[in-house]
Structure 1
């Protein structure tokens, strides 16, 4: 069948004129009515550029599966658990969908354009790395999500809700398909090489009959290897050339086609040279590299998807003394939840009553159970191994640590390093250069005979395959993200990770970062009042009960006054009306003592009570500071707490600098000054007031107990409630950088050596296939060595 008879949409064989798609450029042949409808829809919506931009053919829609998917999206009860408020506009609804069968940037572009064209859609964004579509739409318009899914299905792409079992089925199916191609190529390559070896050794002593039989057998064996196992390369090359775009598949497909068709022509003309075994080995070794690459991509997808899948769909909420099962999506801050043995915490909670042993392995990778009791924060995703407790929800499902991790991993997948963008620009030039060298090789050796010149040209095309160069950086970064996540380090910004070796200093916040953030009262001074001390202490607990500052946690679980009115919160304290007086509690830094923070309760402006609170250093803080100094980093402390408390911590840890009573803007300004004077700086902070400094830093790190705003501002996140993994970041960064540079150096050296040898005729086509595949395999295996990295715990 001629090339013109291929389906314009999916590339499958199309019966002549059976199904024609009517487009402004004329009728296009398609293989079925579904593809014809897809082609016409793309053109009618004004997105005909898709067929010019894509590098692979479009998928074929499965009508039966599409009906099943649409039925799911037509049921609000099934869709609601996956909805969240819009990022910038809470009135909108945000929905993330899992896609299948997308292969290139053109697929992403088409889906975004088609979906965004629908009324009510405000955002449509496709992440090619995670194969997810993020939608934001107006819920006031009925059926918007269903219509968007319909459009995507009509284009032939698979759609599923995140966490849907079909996702794992699709990944398994993709793995089986790749494995099937690899096995076929491996068996075929071995058989073709065996027959080729007999021909090279000339064991038939000139017997033409047996030689012809072996050549024909080698051709039969190599045909399914080249045209089935190697079909994805032909697809990519054909679509790229049709749209005047050089892809990496072009030299691969050209080499395969020349090897197979050239061998057939040579046999038909009575020649003795054939390259069936070279073509088969070429496909086999290339598929080995792509199989490993595919497994690496699936590994990181499953790693962060497992975090999302840990959250339960339903939970028991206490209402009026009774418990009732509700959707986890209904949980709001302040709701009281009942958690028992075997259950998983759906949102970040604070334990109010009871105690339990919980496993945080899903978040931190640490298998040792953690004991939690009254007043302690438990992150979403923790599983109760033993015991039970009642807990207060501190946020919704979408504000939980697990949700933040998913969002940050998605952002990390979207982030493009400069070196990757540069390669995307250079790749077409490199491929064009390869084709020019191939033509030059043919011309140079033509005088030695067409067969010899053809063999040298084929070897050059094979040996200079740019796949290794294309895999050098992405494979290293993918392995790093996956390994870091396994070790409890979330890399939301690969760019920040690679910047760590250039750091000159580290700035810490104090409360909740270097200290445990669990204040306790050390001393109380009664300044005199008609109201008893115990009653005023109950008033202090009432004023501080809902305050977000870590100091307020010192009053959790204490008896509170119940008749406080006109309660108001401020950054430095709280106030309220009680017993016909206006009471205010605020910081009193002028009365602070070393290692403590002072709070003062005033009645109508007159001091009534002073309390001193202390916070303990994290047990690992001193060791972490010492390890950071080994990396020649200046360590400083910036805090909004009283200067005596800050100075006490700085003295205990022997820090290089410290400042207290700083506003968020002053922290950011000091950090900016240090960057200008010394060089790049790292900021580690957990609070809302640390966000400006985190955004200003070259590298921003948030510890495990960080607030939602600090998590969003940070580029690196410590999943465990400890700083022990912080000193390991420089080692991980250097390991990643060295791997990237090793891969790039290897591919550059390989091409510098291989190209002249191939042009000179010193490399046979079969040896070129081994060299090319080995180069890609070395890059992939070198990147996978990062998986053996372990975070330092010393």
Structure 2
């Protein structure tokens, strides 16, 4: 245990400074602290050290102890731990020092061995760990953190300000290692180049020895400092009895450095200090690019969660007051001025302004919002002042739901990734076995050459490119799609898009605006009804006031009867009682018109008032469907609305079939039949009644206006409130799949060609280092090409 400085508490190191005090010598970390201690005592202020702490010298706090202290405080862990319906708790942690998919596999394997941990999923792109653990076990988070630290990974709670500082520190440290390795590799190569030319005669052997010794001195810090992450990763894996990707790298480096040292001591001419230095340099360059890609994706997703403000002004008793955004409740009136960010979803209550929704939709141009318009959380007031009536809390806002779906997408595993994690230990074991076989094949020719060929094989078979091929391609796709206003909640569904044969659309709110207007009503009551028409209209408004269906919103501007009781809402309509009379409002298909839907208000089962409501087709609907049809997709419509309204709409659009008056079960069953007859189907819907079909579809899409349940059921979500991005989804899927296949093809082709050449002895260690690094660079740079993709709109 190192000694702490008496003055500041920092570690004094192995040779501490000393300060003279009346109580004897005190340790100090530097000359400045030593002088401060002596001056404080000379001025008679020694009580400072008594008042500062009762435990005289300050104990130096180990960084791991500081980290574990976070997990000893249930109040700090609680915001990141949520109960689940299955009786477990979901816990999310932030990781650091992740290097590849093999790191994810190792962490998941080691954590699921802990009692109380039921599932562990690591997202390489965002470096987040999601767990399912026993409910009520307060000690388990610390045990998880301890195991992660023993594995050599850093861990903290999401939102910890130290995490960003640690990322920057890790980035600077990696950059320093890259620079050292680059300088060392160049210098070692210069000396080795002279040795390769064989320009010295026997009388100048001392100069050869000097060049080899200089190469040793240069390569040693490159191998053991710049290359330390590989040794550390391999050692932590071995301690847990796991074969990690760092193991063959560490073995190759040790063999190259140690074998060269032994060969030099025995007077041999073969040394590989330059190859070892170049190997480290190329590996670190590849790792730095991978780190950059991971940080870019993490920042893109983090921007959504950081979009919301911490405090906001609420209007209370006609006076503004500052409150935390966590205190906002539905119905609160919030004051937003120029430059403010919308904290929760709401409706403009008063005023107007230009609002930028770029953080949500990616649309750079602001939109004018007036009284009655909806504003999503994350929008920014560029000009004007508005009063916003909150329609939900921070946790129920669109931004919060998007963040949750982003996390779900990040945790979902594409099949190839999951397969690689199972195959990784076998691949590494096979590489080590092939290295031994290579050594045996060439041993009789020359032990020195056999060693060189084995070394080249170990370097070539480093599985970095193969492990990174799919994760980097998927994470780049998610980041690019989010930038273009497309939220990919299920990467598997995105990649399945190009196999889709047909699309099933919902009508209201999907192909139409879902903004119904009451265009006509007719008094259908008998003269015996005592209620006036005005009273009955108020009863209809009261019945529809809490109904979630878009048809109900047509009654929002009408005065509602307050005497209604026992209101019950169902898919078919709503019913309630008023002074012993039973009232019900529901669809009336018999009186529906081609361009409108009919609702009937009944009194004790007898007709009272009929209402006709019309909806408007989305402006972009025809162009969107036409582009999808030209792609060869079969387009159909499934709606719960009256058949006449559905058929009228279908005649305006390029649809092959349209069905009305369908229940949620009917939609899901029809979709299943189509999938069996034609192949995979895509469902596009926005309502609660679309959720079963969205869950059943091979690919499910929800527009921005969708209900919360529909958004959760959908695998893809359009952040802009229109369908213009829908035809771009197949292009996005094709581009993503193309990049992933290119990465896999290159990684496999490289190994297929390079391994036999290395076993045959045609590849030198330095060339193997260059080829291995090049393969990882190709995979990383190819994934980065996804960032140039642009969505085309109708």
Kept in 2: contact 1:86–1:136 (CA 8 A)? no
Q: Alpha carbons of 1:593 and 1:743: their partners in 2 closer, same or farther (altered >3 Å)?
A: same
The match for 1:730 is: 730
The match for 1:168 is: 164
After TM superposition, give the deviation of residue 322 of structure 1 in Å: 4.4
Query: Does residue 1:179 correspond to 2:175, yes or no?
Result: yes
Kept in 2: contact 1:69–1:159 (CA 8 A)? no
The match for 2:63 is: 62
After TM superposition, give the deviation of residue 424 of structure 1 in Å: 2.4
Kept in 1: contact 2:629–2:654 (CA 8 A)? no
Q: Alpha carbons of 1:248 and 1:214: their partners in 2 closer, same or farther (altered >3 Å)?
A: same
The match for 2:190 is: 194
Write the mapping of 1:766-785 to structure 2, written as runs, cut at 5 A.
Answer: 766-785=766-785
Kept in 2: contact 1:115–1:124 (CA 8 A)? no
After TM superposition, give the deviation of residue 341 of structure 1 in Å: 3.2
Aligned counterpart for 1:264 among listed residues 261, 272, 277: 261
The separation in 1 between residues aligned to 2:576 and 2:336, in whole angstroms, is 34
Aligned counterpart for 2:122 among listed residues 113, 120, 127: 127
After TM superposition, give the deviation of residue 280 of structure 1 in Å: 0.9
Query: Does residue 1:390 correspond to 2:391, yes or no?
Result: no
Write the mapping of 1:550-569 to structure 2, written as runs, cut at 5 A.
Answer: 550-569=550-569
Kept in 1: contact 2:215–2:273 (CA 8 A)? yes
After TM superposition, give the deviation of residue 104 of structure 1 in Å: 4.6
The match for 1:344 is: 341
After TM superposition, give the deviation of residue 470 of structure 1 in Å: 1.3
Write the mapping of 1:713-792 to structure 2, written as runs, cut at 5 A.
Answer: 713-792=713-792
After TM superposition, give the deviation of residue 541 of structure 1 in Å: 2.6
State the number of aligned residues.
722
Matched position secondary structure for 1:419: helix
Q: Alpha carbons of 1:153 and 1:452: their partners in 2 closer, same or farther (altered >3 Å)?
A: closer
The separation in 1 between residues aligned to 2:264 and 2:134, in whole angstroms, is 66
The match for 1:28 is: none
After TM superposition, give the deviation of residue 353 of structure 1 in Å: 3.4
The match for 2:27 is: none
TM-score where L is the length of structure 1:
0.84
After TM superposition, give the deviation of residue 738 of structure 1 in Å: 1.4
Q: Structure 2: which 5+ residue stretches go unaligned?
A: 1-13, 15-60
After TM superposition, give the deviation of residue 235 of structure 1 in Å: 2.3
Aligned counterpart for 1:453 among listed residues 450, 454, 459: 450
Write the mapping of 1:415-494 to structure 2, written as runs, cut at 5 A.
Answer: 415-494=412-491
Matched position secondary structure for 1:285: helix
| CA deviation map 1:667-693 (0-9, x unaligned) | 000000000100000011111111100
Q: Alpha carbons of 1:719 and 1:70: their partners in 2 closer, same or farther (altered >3 Å)?
A: same
Query: Does residue 1:641 correspond to 2:649, yes or no?
Result: no
After TM superposition, give the deviation of residue 151 of structure 1 in Å: 4.5
The match for 1:88 is: 85
Kept in 2: contact 1:592–1:598 (CA 8 A)? yes
After TM superposition, give the deviation of residue 771 of structure 1 in Å: 0.9
The separation in 1 between residues aligned to 2:134 and 2:219, in whole angstroms, is 55
Write the mapping of 1:347-426 to structure 2, written as runs, cut at 5 A.
Answer: 347-426=344-423
Matched position secondary structure for 2:609: strand
After TM superposition, give the deviation of residue 534 of structure 1 in Å: 4.4
Kept in 2: contact 1:511–1:550 (CA 8 A)? yes
The separation in 1 between residues aligned to 2:721 and 2:201, in whole angstroms, is 75
Kept in 1: contact 2:104–2:123 (CA 8 A)? yes
After TM superposition, give the deviation of residue 600 of structure 1 in Å: 1.7
After TM superposition, give the deviation of residue 150 of structure 1 in Å: 4.7
The separation in 2 between residues aligned to 1:100 and 1:659, in whole angstroms, is 53
The match for 1:287 is: 284
The separation in 2 between residues aligned to 1:353 and 1:692, in whole angstroms, is 38
Aligned counterpart for 1:523 among listed residues 515, 520, 525: 520
Kept in 1: contact 2:106–2:242 (CA 8 A)? no
Kept in 2: contact 1:341–1:384 (CA 8 A)? yes
Q: Alpha carbons of 1:168 and 1:592: their partners in 2 closer, same or farther (altered >3 Å)?
A: same
The match for 2:698 is: 698
Q: Quick check: 663-672 or 159-168, which moved more? A: 159-168
| CA deviation map 1:316-344 (0-9, x unaligned) | 44445444433333334444444333322
Kept in 2: contact 1:639–1:661 (CA 8 A)? yes
| CA deviation map 1:595-642 (0-9, x unaligned) | 211112223332222221111111111111111112211011111111
Q: Alpha carbons of 1:66 and 1:759: their partners in 2 closer, same or farther (altered >3 Å)?
A: closer
Kept in 2: contact 1:84–1:398 (CA 8 A)? no
Kept in 2: contact 1:115–1:152 (CA 8 A)? no
Q: Quick check: 334-343 or 244-253, which moved more? A: 334-343
The separation in 2 between residues aligned to 1:333 and 1:188, in whole angstroms, is 63
Aligned counterpart for 1:274 among listed residues 271, 276, 280: 271
Matched position secondary structure for 2:607: strand
Kept in 2: contact 1:664–1:689 (CA 8 A)? yes
After TM superposition, give the deviation of residue 516 of structure 1 in Å: 1.0
| CA deviation map 1:441-478 (0-9, x unaligned) | 22332333222222222222212222111111111111
The separation in 1 between residues aligned to 2:184 and 2:670, in whole angstroms, is 66
The separation in 1 between residues aligned to 2:675 and 2:654, in whole angstroms, is 22
Q: Quick check: 455-464 or 524-533, which moved more? A: 524-533
Q: Quick check: 215-224 or 451-460, which moved more? A: 451-460
After TM superposition, give the deviation of residue 105 of structure 1 in Å: 4.5
After TM superposition, give the deviation of residue 502 of structure 1 in Å: 0.7
Matched position secondary structure for 1:223: helix
Q: Alpha carbons of 1:168 and 1:360: their partners in 2 closer, same or farther (altered >3 Å)?
A: same
The separation in 2 between residues aligned to 1:193 and 1:539, in whole angstroms, is 89
After TM superposition, give the deviation of residue 787 of structure 1 in Å: 1.3
Kept in 2: contact 1:124–1:133 (CA 8 A)? no
| CA deviation map 1:729-748 (0-9, x unaligned) | 11111111111211222122
Kept in 1: contact 2:544–2:552 (CA 8 A)? yes
Q: Alpha carbons of 1:763 and 1:496: their partners in 2 closer, same or farther (altered >3 Å)?
A: same
Q: Alpha carbons of 1:542 and 1:281: their partners in 2 closer, same or farther (altered >3 Å)?
A: same
The separation in 2 between residues aligned to 1:93 and 1:424, in whole angstroms, is 25
The separation in 2 between residues aligned to 1:570 and 1:437, in whole angstroms, is 67
Q: Alpha carbons of 1:243 and 1:327: their partners in 2 closer, same or farther (altered >3 Å)?
A: closer
The separation in 2 between residues aligned to 1:84 and 1:511, in whole angstroms, is 38
Q: Quick check: 195-204 or 362-371, which moved more? A: 195-204
| CA deviation map 1:559-612 (0-9, x unaligned) | 333443443322222234447643322211211111211112223332222221
After TM superposition, give the deviation of residue 709 of structure 1 in Å: 1.0
The match for 1:623 is: 623
Kept in 1: contact 2:68–2:146 (CA 8 A)? no
The separation in 2 between residues aligned to 1:109 and 1:424, in whole angstroms, is 10
